[in-house]
Structure 1
Amino acid sequence: MLNSILLHWRALCILYGSLLASIAFAVGHHFHYQSLAGQPVSTANDLAIGTWAGVSSQKFNTAVGNTFASLFRTFLSITVTTAYCQIVWHALKSEATRLNIVDAISGILANPLGFLNLGAWRKSALLFPLAIMIWILPVAPIITPATLTVAINPRTLHDMVNVSSIDFNSMNFATITLGGPTVFGCAYHYDGPKFEVQKIATAATAQGAVLPLSAPGNQPNVSYTQQFAGPALQCTDVRDPLRGEILVNVNTGALNTSTSYGYLAWAPFKSSLPFMQDPAGIGDEFWHLQQGSATIGPTSDGPLTLFVATFPNFNNIHYGNLSQTYTANATVVQCELVNATYSSSYNWTNGIPELNVTVIPTDKGIFYPPDIDCGRLFFTGNHRDTNALQPLSDYNNTLVQNYAYASVMDAFVKLLEGEIYYPRSPNGLVTTTSVMSTTLGTTQELLAVQNRTVSGTQGLGTLTPNDWPGISVNMQANNTSTLRPTLEMMFQNLTMHLMSSPLLQPDAATPYYPPSVNVTTVTFHTQYAYSAATLWLAYGTAILIATTTVVIACLAIFSSGLSYSSSFSTVLRTSSHASVSTKISREDAVGQDPLPKHLAEATITFAYADANEEEAVQEHLVAKGDHVLQSNGSYSVAVIEAGSLYELDNGNYSQIPYYDFESASGSPDLSTVNGLIDWKFLTTPQTALLNRTIHYARGKCLGGSSARNYMVYNRGTVGTFAKWASLVGDSSWNWDGVYPYYRKSPHFTPSNSHLRAANASVGLVDDTAAFASNGGPLQVSYPNFAQAWSSFFPQGFEEVGIPFLEQGISSGHLDGYASVTLTIDPTEQTRSSSETSFLREALAGTDIVVYTHALAKRILFDQDKRATNVLVDVAGMKFQINVTREIILSAGVFQSPQLLMVSGIGPRATLEEHGIPVVADRPGVGQNMWDNPLTSLSWEVNVETPSVLTNDPSRIYEENEAYITNRTGMLTSDAGADFVGFLKVSNLSVVNISSTTGNAFQSNFPSDWPEVELLTFAVGPNDGVHNFASIALGLLATFSRGNVTIKSSDMADAPIINPALLEDKRDQDLAIAAFKFTRRLAATQSFQRVIIGSEVVPGPNVNTDAEILAYLRQSVIPLFHASCTCKMGMRNDGMAVVDSEAKVIGVEGLRVVDISAFPLLPPGQPQATVYMLAEKIVDMILRDA
């Protein structure tokens, strides 16, 4: 009964409850804003919650308004979506509906493009107007918070304030010296401006500096006017006859000195001209005003005066022959110092100052201050015979002002006096003035001089050391300023700048302190303003729309007899348990549906779900096959990869061969390991290696560990595969059976003799016979560089009895030394991996889907133990990929057994320990791990090694350029693994390996299986100074076996990895013997030519077997060749995990195709055998299809 009531009233309760809640939040929003209206706005930053009287901060009140609006929108959205849902399902129940119309109607609230579906409009014309209104709803919470605004009210205050001014009655302007005895007893003499005045003059005239004044009270909006008396310049153009006299003297000077003038300025004593004496017999020095000389002097017939003359038509010929042309365009300006009234208007707006100055000069000129007796400088005669200046209160202010005015003029003239002239020989320019560092240098009359010095025919290179400091002044184009007004403005600017100095401002203690001025200050006060009509217009419209949908929804509920939700279970109920696949095939009959092919062909069946049951459904993603089938166009393939493209995630470090050792040294410090392309696995503490924990590099990217390995490509031996075939009970795994698959994957390119150095070709074998002429996409070749260290190996190997492998290292014979082939693109000199070769080829031509950043969590089986699905985790979301044929597991030596175990395939005890249901009890899962221990010995050498790339930045640049430009140089080589030598136990007899150990290896491994390999490594300890190189030795036959198991039932937890390196005593004996043989190789004549001094690592003190073993325990790392953890074997072998066709024993539809499926680890580097394995299993899959 209760369920029946809920079916009718559940939606109604939601409808009315959410509608009332939204109305309540709208009312709350209104009253909150109304309480703030007219209140002052606080600028507090603490967001403290106050009362509703508006004492909270502006930011807090805005946040409250946004919260009300968001809550209103949330609850109103619940109302309208619930109402719309009821109306939609009522419409759908009325009659059968096409699937695309159902999509359009049900998705209109999320996808406005549904409005374009005309069929949906015909289906229910009512729904679409309602949907349009619902789309208007989000406008309400956008509009309503803006209804609370901040109004700004200005307030104006007037106050009498003392402002900055200039005290021309101060003795801080002029330097006054006390003269000798006179008729008055002593005399004061003017001796120039003080440093403060000269400093301000320099700053004020240089490029028109702005007066540095602060507003009274540091208020941002202040204005006032000010008047004071001060000096000013009145400038006029000099007329004849004085102009003519000046020009005659200038021309005469040019005749006698072989110079031509561009600029001349002077302040004469009395009315003298610049050339005051007859030039006859006078040296050239006389005719040039000397910088630093006295500038102004006493005159008796006029005020202090400055003359400025410019001569734009100069050239390098002296002007005796061109006097008319020379003088015609000359400009001569005369500026007299006069008394003036300064009327200044100051205005600060938002802290930005504006100053307007009006200068009203008088006719009263200012004369040079004469020497005066001590008494006349004061009001009283009490100090007549003193030789010290007295307090300011006694000064004769009129005389002191005269000194001050004269000092300002003097400081101004010192910047402009002097000349710019052009000697005839040598050609160039001489200047004794600082004028070009002032704004006067930018006037029209001086543009010619400026251009001459900056870009004239003589150029800057010929200027004399006396060149003026303003040479870098930037000229403005089309300058229209002229000398006369510029001089007056410059002096006016200088006078105004005097008030910026505290030394020159009035002292409140003197009788000359200026009166206060009327200062106007404007302050702005803010308060809240609220528009209730706008808020209720927005909220009211939204509530009206919602109420309309509620009414229609109620009618739909009572007409249907039920209420509905938008959950997926509702879709199931209303579908009447129909198969969606039928609707899809009918809808997509002509292939117009935009779904991708692998989804469009999906078969999805909806199970029955009663209205009273839990609403649950499992989403399925459909995929078929696996990527190794890419060569057959009849299969669709899905590739699941936990990482992504190593080219993007690791860049050059995974592509350029030189960096293939990067973060693959075994160090347990993972801080430098890129977790985007490496799993960051750590081993358990290794008991035989001093309990060291080792980082085991594994690829976490497309291409797997083919993107992380050392790139060496070689194949196993003939005897190796005879043993393989015997172990798995299948003769197709012998050498003749696998050799065609070895040839199928790679494309071999011979070495480029034009790019490799001559010594780099020693021992190279371009064994094209071992490779097919029309091979696969994997590139195999040689780098375009070989280390100088490597060139000593061939002769050294010969000296110790190791022969040259004339057939190379891919012919099935490893009984000598040879050059190393790499999986390298011969053109680009970059790594060739399974991603760059097979996957790219597959993506270009077949039906393949790649899922990156997808972690396979578990393989699922049906009741017949057939693998049907893979559970995948993508960013925390889990999906199932449905497989119609079979799953191929290629997760690597550690994670393939891990995934088997978490899926229920493995040792029963392990599975039960972690609560995993047992699908197949296979005790061999994770066991039988093979690996190759590796160590090295190092020496200082007399040839260049890669250490230079860390010691010498210039070499780094050279190698980078060589690689980028020509694909040559050291970066194309994988740190010098240029040669490899393979040793048998019989070779080690010279170092007295025990017969017991020797017999053990000879009886357990084929006769052509080498037990040791020696590799050239042009790396070693790096002290930043010397070159070091190494010989690496690896054990290719071992008796130690490791294992891998699980930490939990979750693939996200790293597996427990135990390589068990050197745990078997026979492996230790073999390693000691190989160590001794390596020293024997280094002692050959060939190597002694390059080795400097004694061994560096481990050093000459390591000699006994015990000392050597101790070094091995602390230095050995894996060659990262872990394998055989899902070993291939016969089905009656209890430890076998897969059969000879790589099928997992005990289940159906599942294979393991990676290095973990090896029954043994072939000698050398295993990547070639991994590719061979994949090629061979592909043929088996295609054969079974």
Structure 2
Amino acid sequence: MARTSPETFDYVIVGAGSAGALLAARLAERDGVTVCVLEAGPKDSNPFIGIPAGFLKVIFDPKLTWGFTTEPGEHIDGRTVPALQGHVVGGSAAINGMVYTRGQADDFNGWAQLGNRGWGYADVLPYFMKTERRTDGGGDEGYRGRSGKLPIVDLHWKNPLLDRFFEAAGAIGIPRNRDFNGKAQEGAGTYQYNIGRGKRVNTARAFLKDGIKTGRIDLRTGARATRVLFDGTVATGIEYVFERGGTASRVHARREVILCSGALNTPRLLQVSGIGAPALLGALNVPVVSALPGVGENLRDHFTPRTVVRVKGAPTINDYARGPKLIGQGVRWLTGRPSVVGIGVVLGHAFWKSDPALDRADILITFTPGSFKEGFLGVLDDQPGMTLGAWQLRPESSGYVRARSTDVFETPAVQPNYLASQNDRRVLLAGQKMIRELLAQPALARHVAQEVIPGSAVQSDDELMAYARRQGLGGYHYCGTAKMGPASDPMAVVDDKLRVRGVQRLRVVDASIMPDIPSGNTNAPTMMIAEKAADLILQAG
């Protein structure tokens, strides 16, 4: 493979997603600093990326997503399921549902208790606040940022079914919570989104583009990293190509190389670069640079089966999303008014407990006053419907990501091991029963024409779990595959300053470093990690 001569920057970052875009911008705020960002995907020029409802168009677009699929899962009836990740500037935040969920304070206190200094909730809260700008004035004071570049808004589009959902939640003891990212997460309410002036805003659009304008950031799209370059155990740069079998280029870093490729691609890049379990590296015929058995292990993700109900007596998203009504909604969106075009796909939530004796919520019930055709990805149903999903917030099941070869155009083996833990199955069953309990409350029951899936014939615990195994999907919240931990943890990949163990001048800054999965979507915690990493890196000089 032919190679071009290298170029040199202060920092080389792999990945322009939620972490990489934000980190690059923060580093480039320091005078004289230069940053090269390598993004394997294309520019974020697809018009549907900016339209919130365009989520349904982009999340299944093979030009904008990595074509990964999980390995067959023993506890989900041997099924394989999509493992979607963004393959575009902006990363997964360019294709996701825009939900902004920080998680629970005890998630981060738990990270600190594992030996990760400086990662407790009091330590990381300022970084959450630094990124965000609550544009509608909402949120608990003392917990919410008002001056960051990333706009965060509450749901403004109104639908009577949402109110009925909150009434039903209250009837079973779940209180209303106006800010689940504030003092406490528990309760029912509407979601918050990274949407500004009716358009999706991610860290690439909020931060990276300004940094590029200064000339301090060199963004290269379509540039797929093939390996980290080393001089002994010192990371010196990245080798990358623009196409399979193409001429390899090299870019060098005066200070550090930083991997921000996400929890599926970062461990694979480490492995093909000689960092990982010796047995795997030997099978790949890759010389060992640092023997770290935890690389690619500890993969976590949320898993959710969904309940779909045919609706009567209330309007749903399905009613507004076709014909003249859709045109009207489009006009409302263009004129800055609340519209189905300007919202995410999941609107309501209830964070609650599978057991009253628990000290914090372990279940999430999601609510959408709309439904999709079974078997058709992203296609709204012809009939009015609503959809409820159940998650276990902190699944114990864990799996792995492993490179199949040194060819980074070959997809890695992705195995989340969904539902391997008995406790995961117990909590998920409790969540499915909670959905049924909500639907049975008078506020919602009067709008239930028919339960479409799993259907009223599915009643016993065994039947509900069988349904979960055959229908549930992942949450696309992959994390943990280069986990942070103290030297005493043999599976730790990075230390609490995010430096890769056994080598120098190499860090990981993305969801890979999470020691445990947070209680909710992972995009907001990933941005927090990038904000904190920027300070750690700049303090190091």
Is TM more than 0.5 here?
yes
Matched residue, 1:1154: 510
Question: Normalized per residue, which structure has more helix?
Answer: 1
- The partner residue of 2:88 within 701, 705, 711 is 701
* Structure 1 residues 618 and 1097, CA gap change in structure 2 (3 angstroms): closer
Q: Deviations over 1:781-811 (max 9, x none)?
A: 13441333212122111100011225x1112
1:681 is matched with which residue? 68
- Structure 2 residue 365 is the aligned partner of structure 1 residue 970: no
Q: Do 2:227 and 2:239's aligned partners in 1 also have CA atoms closer than 8 Å?
A: yes
Question: In the superposition, relative to structure 1, how do residues 786 and 661 fare at CA in structure 2: closer, same or farther (>3 Å)?
Answer: farther
Report the 3-state secondary structure (helix = DSSP H, G, I; strand = E; otherwise coil) of the residue aligned with 2:520.
coil
Deviation at 1:1126, TM superposition (A): 0.3
Separation in 1, partners of 2:530, 2:372: 39
Query: Could you tell me which of 248, 255, 260 is aligned with 1:890?
Result: 260
TM-score (norm. length: structure 2) = 0.92
One-letter identity of the residue aligned with 2:260: S
Contact 2:395–2:517 under 8 Å retained in 1: no
Q: Which amino acid aligns with 1:1069?
A: R
What secondary structure, in the 3-state scheme, does the structure 2 residue paired with 1:1174 have? helix
Cα 1:1013–1:1075 change in 2 (3 A) is same
Pairwise mapping of residues 843-854 of structure 1 onto structure 2 (< 5 A)?
A: 843-845=212-214, 847-854=216-223
How far did residue 736 of structure 1 move? 1.0
1:866 corresponds to: 234
Q: Give TM-score scaled by structure 1 length.
A: 0.43
Amino acid at match of 2:144: F
Match of 1:1165 among 515, 521, 529: 521
The residue number in structure 2 matching 1:803 is: 175
1:468-521 CA-to-partner distances (Å, cap 9, x unmatched) read xxxxxxxxxxxxxxxxxxxxxxxxxxxxxxxxxxxxxxxxxxxxxxxxxxxxxx
Structure 1 Cα separation of the partners of residues 199 and 336 of structure 2: 13
Matches within 5 A, 1:1054-1073: 1054-1073=411-430
Distance change in 2, residues 1:1069/1:1036 (3 Å): same
How many angstroms apart in 2 are the aligned matches of 1:853 and 1:873? 8
Deviation at 1:676, TM superposition (A): 2.1
Out of 531, 537, 541, the position equivalent to 1:1181 is: 537
The answer to whether 1:767 aligns with 2:144 is no
The 5 Å alignment of 1:345-494 reads: none
Matched residue SS, 1:699: coil
2:269, 2:529 → 1: CA distance? Answer: 20
The equivalent of 2:365 in structure 1 is 1014
Greater shift after overlay, 809-818 or 1117-1126?
809-818
2:208 pairs with 1:839: yes
The residue matched to 1:698 in structure 2 has which SS? coil
Per the alignment, in what secondary structure is the counterpart of residue 208 of structure 2? helix
Within the candidate set 623, 629, 638, 2:36 is matched to 638
Q: Is the 8 A contact 2:66 2:86 kept in 1?
A: yes
Report SS of the residue matched to 1:625. strand
Alpha-carbon separation, structure 2, partners of 1:790 and 1:1015: 11
Q: CA deviation at 1:1064?
A: 1.7
Identity of aligned residues (%): 28
Describe the SS at the equivalent of 1:947. Answer: helix
* CA pair 663-689 structure 1, distance change in 2 beyond 3 A: farther
Match for 2:52 among 657, 676, 679?
657
**What are the ranges of 5 or more consecutive residues in structure 1 without an aligned counterpart?**
1-615, 665-672, 752-764, 988-997
* Count of paired positions: 519
Give yes or no for the alignment of 1:1114 onto 2:487. Answer: no
Residue type of the alignment partner of 2:258:
I
Hey, what's the Cα distance between the residues in 1 that align with 2:215 and 2:535? 17
CA distance in 2, matches of 1:1030, 1:846: 46
The within-5 A match list for 1:203-242 is: none
In the other structure, the counterpart of 1:746 is 132
The AA in structure 1 aligned to 2:224 is L
Residue 621 of structure 1 contacts residue 879 of structure 1 at CA under 8 Å; is this kept in 2?
A: no
Q: Which residue of 2 aligns with 1:291?
A: none
Q: CA deviation at 1:1039?
A: 1.7
User: Does the CA-based 8 Å contact 2:262-2:512 persist in structure 1?
Assistant: yes
Q: 2:286 aligns with which of 912, 916, 924?
A: 916
Provide the secondary structure at the position in 1 that maps to 2:526.
Answer: helix
1:1079 aligns with 2:475: no
Contact 2:132 2:146 in 1 (8 A): no
Q: Give the CA deviation at 1:728.
A: 3.1
Shift of 1:967: 4.5
Q: Does 1:1030 align with 2:377?
A: no
Are the structure 2 counterparts of residues 787 and 720 from structure 1 closer, same or farther at C-alpha, using a change threshold of 3 Å? same
For 1:803-846, what per-residue CA distance to the aligned partner results, in whole angstroms no more than 9, with x for missing partners?
1225x111252221222110111x2x111111111102212335
Partner residue in 1 for 2:190? 819
Query: In structure 1, what is the Cα distance between the partners aligned to 2:305 and 2:183?
Result: 26
Q: List gaps (5 residues or longer) in structure 2.
A: 13-23, 374-379
After TM superposition, the structure 1 stretch with the greater mean CA deviation from structure 2, 928-937 or 780-789, is 780-789
Q: 1:871 to 1:1024 in 2, by over 3 A?
A: closer
Displacement of 1:692 in angstroms is: 1.4
Whether the aligned pair in 2 keeps the contact of 1:938 and 1:1098 (CA below 8 Å) is yes
How far is 1:948 from its partner? Answer: 2.6
State how far apart, in whole Å, the 1-side matches of 2:191 and 2:4 are: 52
RCO greater where, 1 or 2, for CA within 8 Å and sep 6 or more?
2
Would the aligned equivalents of 1:716 and 1:813 in 2 still touch at CA under 8 Å?
no
Quote the offset at 1:1018 in angstroms: 2.1
Alpha-carbon distance between aligned partners in 1 of 2:61 and 2:186, rounded to the nearest angstrom: 38
Q: State the 1:916 CA deviation.
A: 0.4
Could you tell me whether the CA contact under 8 Å between 1:682 and 1:693 is conserved in 2?
Answer: yes
Give the letter aligned to residue 823 of structure 1. N
SS in structure 2 of the partner of residue 910 of structure 1? helix
Q: Where does residue 726 of structure 1 map in the other structure?
A: 113
Q: Is 1:793 matched up with 2:165?
A: yes
Per-residue CA deviations over 1:946-979 (Å, capped at 9, x if unaligned) read 22356x422222222222234432111213x222
Q: CA deviation at 1:1061?
A: 0.7
Separation in 1, partners of 2:131, 2:149: 6
Q: Report the Cα distance in structure 2 between the residues aligned to 1:1174 and 1:1024, rounded to whole angstroms.
A: 39
SS in 2 for 1:781: strand
- 2-side partners of 1:788 and 1:767: how far apart? 25
Structure 2 distance, partners of 1:908, 1:1071, is 36
Contact 1:713/1:823 (8 A) holds in 2: yes
What are the superposed Cα offsets for residues 354-390 of structure 1, whole Å, 9 maximum, x if unpaired?
xxxxxxxxxxxxxxxxxxxxxxxxxxxxxxxxxxxxx
Residue number in structure 1 paired with 2:8: 622
In structure 2, the partner of 1:902 is 272
Residue of structure 2 in register with 1:711 after alignment: 98
Matches of 1:1021 and 1:734, distance apart in 2: 40
Paired AA for residue 1145 in structure 1:
R
> Contact between 1:748 and 1:768, CA under 8 Å: does it hold in 2?
no
